[in-house]
Structure 1
Amino acid sequence: MTITEAQTAEDGTIQLAVVQVRKLKVPITLLVIAALLAILFLAAPAHGDTLYRLSESGEAIKLGSIDLPAQPAIWTSWAVAALLALWSLWGAWSYRPTPLWLTIVYALLAMFAFMTWSGADSSAAVPVVGLLGGSLSLAVPLIFGALGGVIGERAGVVNVAIEGQFLLGAFTATVLGSLTRNPFVGLIGAMIGGVLVAFVLAAFAIRYLVDQVIVGVVLNVLVSGLTGFLYTAVLANDAAALNSPTPFQPVAIPGLSAIPILGPVLFNQTFLVYLMYVVVAVVSWALYRTRWGLRLRAVGEHPKAADTVGIKVNPTRFWNVLLAGAIAGIGGAYFTLVSVPNFTKDMTAGLGFIALAAVIFGGWDPIRATLAALLFGFAQNLQNLLNVLGTPIPSEFMLMLPYVVTILAVVGFAGQIRAPAADGKPYIKG
């Protein structure tokens, strides 16, 4: 990394000095993970073969299964991952950042080695389509929440209230979807629920200059208590009428859904998954290619400069926080209109905070935040798969897996990125 510093010479002139800084956090994290995996593989060596099932029943094209010798597959993939970690270290030592593709390939190899070790000599096969499809399903609400977080924080407002937006969105989707028996009405209700939470956040953070993190935490607690009370007092007493929404059903896209492995995962999904594809693409393009994106980034980076060129900073922040709340509310709808067709107390289970971690891990970028959310969704689904495979890891550690991955990601990589300069800082004109 290169940093330019200004220095004042003895004669009073200003001189620029270039200072190079080595960023070793990412390569050290990769090396530590490789070392931990090596210790695991040596302490509990795998025996036999690992069976990977590449297709499920009912698919148009069946690929059968692959039976891999566990030990060669584990150590070959581990060795390549370790070499990538060393390459990252060498690049960092030469003042070059670790490329994104290297981190992705490293993660795939490390996961493959771990899954091969987990499934060695197991009576159950590793279902590749089921693993990827389940990971995508678990990541969908995280992706919507992360996109809402990116928009809000790019505008300069820390959105700790994603959990509350999820929860109220799930609640309103359930009630309206149950009353109308129409999942699209439930979806609109979820967006309204997310906007309501975002409105309170924006009003206190932007208008009354209350600390944004405190407001977000208070909103999460408030929504949790409110929805819990309404569930007990209203929904539980008339579940048939108020807590049984009509869910979205999977719709296969002809032709694309027949593609082996990826077809059933990506193109045999519900409306909300297809909507997610569109929202990710639109936000990613609009943030860097439109006037809206330019204004949004301006009020989050340099609000005073934006104000001098005629951009209304606080109104721009306010409306974009509401937009972020609507997108996060869609994530809440996924819980009750796709995953489980009814509402229960605190059913979001802290996933709003994992979505916030995806925002940070993704460097406040829509595509990177989406990839981070997919990683966390994969970690959640992997926990369920490992229980099926009978992995010799205590169940308590299995439950910790998604949160351990979240901590490793944020601690190991967040130091390499910078938040928007005015993120969390109220703007007072004049």
Structure 2
Amino acid sequence: MSAQVLTPAPAPEQSAITAALTRAAKRPAWMLSVAALIAVVVFGFLAPHTSASFRLSATDAAVKVPPLVVPAVAFGWIVALLLIAAAAWAWFLATQRQRSLPGWAMGLAWFVFLAGLMVWLVGTANNPDISLVQLLTGSVALSLPIIFGSMSGALCERAGVVNIAIEGQLLLGAFGAALGGLLTGSLVGALVTAALGGLLVSALLSLFAVKYLVNQIIVGVVLNVFASGLTGFFAGTLLKDGENFHDMPKLAKLPIPGLADIPVLGPIFFQQTLLGYAMFLLVPGLWFALFRTKWGLRVRAVGEHPKAADTVGIKVNRVRVSNVLLAGIVAGVGGSYYTLVSTSEFSRDMTGGTGYIALAALIFGRWNPLLAACAGLLFGFVTNLQYILAQAGTAVPSQFMAMLPYIVTIFAVAGLVGKSRGPAASGEPYVKE
């Protein structure tokens, strides 16, 4: 008789882990499959038989670059084929190796999908010719309060405090900038009062969430309502009388000579306001501080394992309070965009839910300042795209275009690029034993 070799059955725990890994790996594959199907039907078969034209130079640019003309049908099929290949790769990794598609490949696939969508939308417009420079510079401007808000969220949540109150911080920052600008007539006064407005919300958040251990999500929602009512009341009482007020100061663009004339990139990076340049410095600076300094190590230790941080001498609640207060200053300065750059007056609830989009950008960016800033730029791009296409006369209903930024937000929060895990102790109050 031949000897029979018995293979041991896998342990139940191992089978459960394998099944969980397979399910997690299949999620991006399913999403890419849906994206590929949309690309085949919409970008391929339903593509307009026109060409989308993207102007690469401003009308007053010193250096002129010919426009980029893209045939909608050919480009649509290229996008469809690339997405089919990405979906096939994702299924292969999910079924054969229980692995998800690499992050860079997933990001590139969604970039290709967004490019195909943009070409299709521009191709369906009555005037299929838009300025890419205007689209990108406007996107950076619209993403500015989102990015400042997401940086505020990163400062809080990396220290273990959930910051739902970003909306209130931005709103009170916008009101503070308007009040300070009208009272002092100077940009410095407006920015200082904007920072104080965000600081007020953060002080209340740290008081109730850190000291009195109130549920952080509930406190954040209440503070947003509080900021809305407070600014609405004072806007109707303090700002309605124009007497004894100076003219509202404005943050003008500060072009850098020479660099501002670079095609496409010049207007984006080197023709910004003071807030724009501050944003370009804040994002890499905060990333470096969080991940490359002793201070950042302490903050992340408090957000991941506060009890262990306490045992090595870190004052957990002191770190949390200081981070929350700093986050309020950051968000307050970001809120000044609405009254110092976008408009010259304050109106009730003028932030329009930007704080919640900033929170979605933070989750989308996996609590990393660099990735969160990229997510904020994506939301700003989608928002500006609807305005540009509305001017071009796209055939897509305006109601759908108005919903587009929020649709992107929902997909991002739902885990477009896979499951995100925030700091382990985020939202959990710490009581020293």
- The two structures share one fold, judged by TM-score above 0.5: yes
* Unmatched segments (≥5 aa) in structure 1: 1-8, 10-14
Equivalent residue in structure 2 for 1:47, among 35, 49, 55: 49
Determine if contact 2:309/2:316 at 8 Å carries over to the other structure: yes
Determine if contact 1:26/1:412 at 8 Å carries over to the other structure: no
Query: 1:409 Cα deviation (Å)?
Result: 1.5
2:307 is aligned with 1:304: yes
Question: What whole-Å deviation, never above 9, does each CA across 1:290-323 have from its counterpart, x for those lacking one?
Answer: 1110110011100000000000111110111101
Query: 1:101 Cα deviation (Å)?
Result: 2.2
Counterpart for residue 178 of structure 2: 174
Q: Which amino acid aligns with 1:160?
A: I
Counterpart for residue 391 of structure 1: 394
Equivalent residue in structure 2 for 1:28, among 27, 30, 42: 30
Query: 1:343 Cα deviation (Å)?
Result: 0.8
Determine if contact 1:383/1:398 at 8 Å carries over to the other structure: yes
Query: 1:160 Cα deviation (Å)?
Result: 0.2
Q: Which amino acid aligns with 1:171?
A: F
Counterpart for residue 408 of structure 1: 411
**Inter-CA distance 370–92: structure 2 relative to 1 (3 Å threshold):** farther
Superposed, 1:1-400 pairs within 5 Å as 19-20=17-18, 21-22=21-22, 23-41=25-43, 44-93=46-95, 94-120=97-123, 122-238=126-242, 241=245, 244-400=247-403
TM-score by length of 2: 0.91
Q: Which amino acid aligns with 1:186?
A: A
How many angstroms apart in 1 are the aligned matches of 2:84 and 2:230? 49
Counterpart for residue 7 of structure 2: none
Determine if contact 1:25/1:412 at 8 Å carries over to the other structure: no
Q: SS at the partner of 2:267?
A: helix
How many angstroms apart in 2 are the aligned matches of 1:131 and 1:88? 32
Determine if contact 2:121/2:396 at 8 Å carries over to the other structure: no
Task: Return 199-208 or 391-400, whichever deviates more.
Answer: 391-400
Question: What whole-Å deviation, never above 9, does each CA across 1:320-377 have from its counterpart, x for those lacking one?
Answer: 1101111111110111111112111100000100000111111111111111111111
Task: Return 121-130 or 224-233, whichever deviates more.
Answer: 121-130
Number of aligned residue pairs: give it.
Answer: 416
Query: 1:17 Cα deviation (Å)?
Result: 10
Determine if contact 1:29/1:412 at 8 Å carries over to the other structure: no
Determine if contact 2:165/2:221 at 8 Å carries over to the other structure: yes
Determine if contact 1:78/1:109 at 8 Å carries over to the other structure: no
TM-score by length of 1: 0.92
Question: What whole-Å deviation, never above 9, does each CA across 1:40-64 have from its counterpart, x for those lacking one?
Answer: 3367431222211111111121102
Query: 1:124 Cα deviation (Å)?
Result: 4.4
**Inter-CA distance 236–124: structure 2 relative to 1 (3 Å threshold):** farther
How many angstroms apart in 1 are the aligned matches of 2:432 and 2:418? 31
Question: What whole-Å deviation, never above 9, does each CA across 1:114-149 have from its counterpart, x for those lacking one?
Answer: 122122263241211011111111111100000110
**Inter-CA distance 237–72: structure 2 relative to 1 (3 Å threshold):** same
Question: What whole-Å deviation, never above 9, does each CA across 1:357-415 have from its counterpart, x for those lacking one?
Answer: 11111111111111111111111111112212322221111111000011112213375
How many angstroms apart in 2 are the aligned matches of 1:95 and 1:155? 33
* Unmatched segments (≥5 aa) in structure 2: 1-10
